[in-house]
Amino acid sequence: MGNNNLDSAVFAGGCFWCTEAVFQRLQGVFQVISGYTGGSIKNPAYREITTGRTGHAEAIKIVYDANIINYSELLEIFFATHDPTTLNRQGADRGTQYRSAVFYENENQKKMAHSMIDKLQTEGVFDSPIVTEVTELGPFYNAEDYHQDYYNQNSKQGYCQFVINPKLSKLQHTFKSKLKKEI
Protein backbone atom coordinates (compact mmCIF):
# COMPACT_ATOMS: atom_id res chain seq x y z
CA MET A 1 0.00 0.00 0.00
CA GLY A 2 1.56 3.28 -1.11
CA ASN A 3 1.10 6.61 0.57
CA ASN A 4 0.10 8.38 -2.64
CA ASN A 5 -3.48 8.80 -1.48
CA LEU A 6 -2.80 10.20 1.98
CA ASP A 7 -4.76 13.32 2.74
CA SER A 8 -5.64 15.24 5.88
CA ALA A 9 -8.67 16.82 7.48
CA VAL A 10 -8.95 19.13 10.49
CA PHE A 11 -12.08 19.20 12.64
CA ALA A 12 -13.04 20.72 15.98
CA GLY A 13 -15.99 19.14 17.74
CA GLY A 14 -15.56 19.97 21.40
CA CYS A 15 -12.91 18.29 23.51
CA PHE A 16 -10.22 16.81 21.31
CA TRP A 17 -10.04 13.70 23.50
CA CYS A 18 -13.51 12.81 22.20
CA THR A 19 -12.96 13.50 18.53
CA GLU A 20 -9.54 11.83 18.57
CA ALA A 21 -11.04 8.62 20.03
CA VAL A 22 -13.78 8.54 17.38
CA PHE A 23 -11.56 9.02 14.34
CA GLN A 24 -8.79 6.69 15.54
CA ARG A 25 -11.25 3.82 15.16
CA LEU A 26 -11.95 4.29 11.46
CA GLN A 27 -10.55 2.15 8.65
CA GLY A 28 -8.20 4.18 6.48
CA VAL A 29 -7.24 6.59 9.26
CA PHE A 30 -3.51 6.32 9.93
CA GLN A 31 -3.00 9.09 12.46
CA VAL A 32 -5.04 11.46 14.58
CA ILE A 33 -3.22 14.36 16.22
CA SER A 34 -4.83 16.47 18.93
CA GLY A 35 -3.95 20.13 18.70
CA TYR A 36 -5.00 23.75 18.48
CA THR A 37 -5.93 25.92 15.53
CA GLY A 38 -7.96 29.00 14.67
CA GLY A 39 -6.39 31.32 17.21
CA SER A 40 -4.25 34.41 17.44
CA ILE A 41 -1.03 33.42 19.20
CA LYS A 42 1.82 31.17 18.11
CA ASN A 43 2.59 27.90 19.89
CA PRO A 44 -0.22 28.08 22.44
CA ALA A 45 -0.19 25.84 25.50
CA TYR A 46 -3.19 24.03 26.95
CA ARG A 47 -3.28 26.36 29.97
CA GLU A 48 -3.72 29.29 27.55
CA ILE A 49 -6.31 27.54 25.39
CA THR A 50 -8.53 26.75 28.39
CA THR A 51 -8.99 30.45 29.10
CA GLY A 52 -10.77 30.86 25.75
CA ARG A 53 -8.87 34.10 25.14
CA THR A 54 -6.48 32.85 22.43
CA GLY A 55 -9.24 32.09 19.93
CA HIS A 56 -7.96 28.56 19.32
CA ALA A 57 -10.21 25.54 19.12
CA GLU A 58 -9.31 22.12 20.45
CA ALA A 59 -9.04 20.30 17.12
CA ILE A 60 -7.79 17.11 15.55
CA LYS A 61 -5.77 16.58 12.41
CA ILE A 62 -6.69 13.33 10.70
CA VAL A 63 -4.27 11.68 8.26
CA TYR A 64 -6.17 9.20 6.11
CA ASP A 65 -6.04 7.15 2.92
CA ALA A 66 -8.61 8.62 0.52
CA ASN A 67 -8.89 5.23 -1.22
CA ILE A 68 -10.28 3.69 1.97
CA ILE A 69 -12.28 6.54 3.49
CA ASN A 70 -13.02 9.85 1.82
CA TYR A 71 -13.48 13.39 3.07
CA SER A 72 -17.24 13.26 2.66
CA GLU A 73 -17.42 10.17 4.89
CA LEU A 74 -15.23 11.87 7.49
CA LEU A 75 -17.59 14.86 7.45
CA GLU A 76 -20.61 12.60 7.88
CA ILE A 77 -19.02 10.91 10.90
CA PHE A 78 -17.90 14.27 12.31
CA PHE A 79 -21.44 15.67 12.25
CA ALA A 80 -22.95 12.46 13.63
CA THR A 81 -20.63 12.20 16.64
CA HIS A 82 -20.91 15.67 18.17
CA ASP A 83 -23.59 18.35 18.52
CA PRO A 84 -23.08 20.92 15.73
CA THR A 85 -26.00 23.02 16.96
CA THR A 86 -24.52 24.37 20.20
CA LEU A 87 -22.43 27.51 19.92
CA ASN A 88 -19.09 27.26 21.75
CA ARG A 89 -20.22 24.24 23.75
CA GLN A 90 -20.25 20.47 23.79
CA GLY A 91 -22.07 19.07 26.79
CA ALA A 92 -20.56 20.54 29.95
CA ASP A 93 -17.50 21.88 28.08
CA ARG A 94 -18.08 25.58 27.39
CA GLY A 95 -16.01 28.23 25.62
CA THR A 96 -14.82 29.10 22.14
CA GLN A 97 -12.14 26.42 22.45
CA TYR A 98 -14.96 23.83 22.27
CA ARG A 99 -16.66 25.23 19.17
CA SER A 100 -17.75 23.10 16.25
CA ALA A 101 -15.60 23.85 13.20
CA VAL A 102 -14.35 22.44 9.93
CA PHE A 103 -10.95 23.88 9.07
CA TYR A 104 -10.60 23.38 5.34
CA GLU A 105 -7.28 23.00 3.54
CA ASN A 106 -8.54 23.67 0.02
CA GLU A 107 -11.59 24.87 -1.91
CA ASN A 108 -12.88 21.34 -2.43
CA GLN A 109 -12.98 20.68 1.33
CA LYS A 110 -14.69 24.04 1.84
CA LYS A 111 -17.32 23.24 -0.77
CA MET A 112 -17.90 19.75 0.65
CA ALA A 113 -18.29 21.08 4.21
CA HIS A 114 -20.88 23.67 3.14
CA SER A 115 -22.66 21.05 1.04
CA MET A 116 -22.84 18.63 4.01
CA ILE A 117 -24.21 21.36 6.29
CA ASP A 118 -26.82 22.33 3.68
CA LYS A 119 -27.83 18.68 3.26
CA LEU A 120 -28.18 18.11 7.02
CA GLN A 121 -30.19 21.34 7.40
CA THR A 122 -32.48 20.49 4.45
CA GLU A 123 -33.08 16.97 5.77
CA GLY A 124 -33.85 18.32 9.26
CA VAL A 125 -31.36 15.96 10.90
CA PHE A 126 -31.00 18.30 13.88
CA ASP A 127 -33.76 20.10 15.77
CA SER A 128 -31.77 23.36 15.84
CA PRO A 129 -29.71 25.15 13.18
CA ILE A 130 -26.14 23.97 12.64
CA VAL A 131 -23.63 26.54 13.94
CA THR A 132 -20.46 24.77 12.77
CA GLU A 133 -18.00 27.29 11.36
CA VAL A 134 -16.23 26.54 8.10
CA THR A 135 -12.89 28.34 8.21
CA GLU A 136 -9.65 28.17 6.26
CA LEU A 137 -7.01 26.24 8.16
CA GLY A 138 -4.23 28.37 9.57
CA PRO A 139 -1.35 27.08 11.69
CA PHE A 140 -2.08 23.81 13.49
CA TYR A 141 -0.16 23.30 16.74
CA ASN A 142 0.16 19.83 18.22
CA ALA A 143 -1.16 19.59 21.76
CA GLU A 144 1.10 18.46 24.57
CA ASP A 145 2.07 14.76 24.60
CA TYR A 146 -0.28 13.89 27.47
CA HIS A 147 -3.26 14.87 25.26
CA GLN A 148 -2.24 12.50 22.44
CA ASP A 149 -3.97 9.10 22.35
CA TYR A 150 -5.77 10.22 25.51
CA TYR A 151 -8.75 7.89 25.54
CA ASN A 152 -6.70 4.80 24.73
CA GLN A 153 -4.35 5.62 27.63
CA ASN A 154 -7.07 6.69 30.10
CA SER A 155 -10.27 4.83 29.19
CA LYS A 156 -11.13 4.10 32.85
CA GLN A 157 -11.07 7.80 33.78
CA GLY A 158 -14.49 9.34 34.59
CA TYR A 159 -14.58 11.79 31.67
CA CYS A 160 -13.79 8.96 29.26
CA GLN A 161 -16.48 6.73 30.77
CA PHE A 162 -19.26 9.31 30.80
CA VAL A 163 -18.48 11.54 27.82
CA ILE A 164 -16.41 9.58 25.32
CA ASN A 165 -17.88 6.09 25.71
CA PRO A 166 -21.38 7.17 24.53
CA LYS A 167 -19.81 8.72 21.40
CA LEU A 168 -17.94 5.50 20.70
CA SER A 169 -21.12 3.48 21.21
CA LYS A 170 -22.92 5.66 18.68
CA LEU A 171 -20.01 5.27 16.27
CA GLN A 172 -20.07 1.48 16.72
CA HIS A 173 -23.82 1.36 16.10
CA THR A 174 -24.06 3.85 13.22
CA PHE A 175 -20.80 3.31 11.34
CA LYS A 176 -19.91 -0.31 12.12
CA SER A 177 -18.77 -1.05 8.55
CA LYS A 178 -16.25 1.81 8.70
CA LEU A 179 -14.51 0.63 11.88
CA LYS A 180 -11.12 -0.99 12.17
CA LYS A 181 -11.29 -4.60 13.30
CA GLU A 182 -9.22 -3.76 16.36
CA ILE A 183 -7.49 -0.75 17.81
- The torsion angles phi and psi of 148, rounded to 5 degrees, stand at -80, 140
At 94, which helix (H) or strand (E)? strand 93-94
End-to-end CA distance of the chain: 19
Active-site entry in 9, 12, 15, 60:
15
Q: Is 160 a catalytic residue?
A: no
What angle (nearest 5°) sits at the alpha carbon of residue 13, between those of residues 125 and 52?
130
Cα–Cα distances in Å, from 76 out to 15, 16, 70, 83, 93?
A: 18, 17, 10, 12, 22
Count of beta carbons in the 10 Å neighbourhood of residue 29 = 20
Residues involved in catalysis: 15
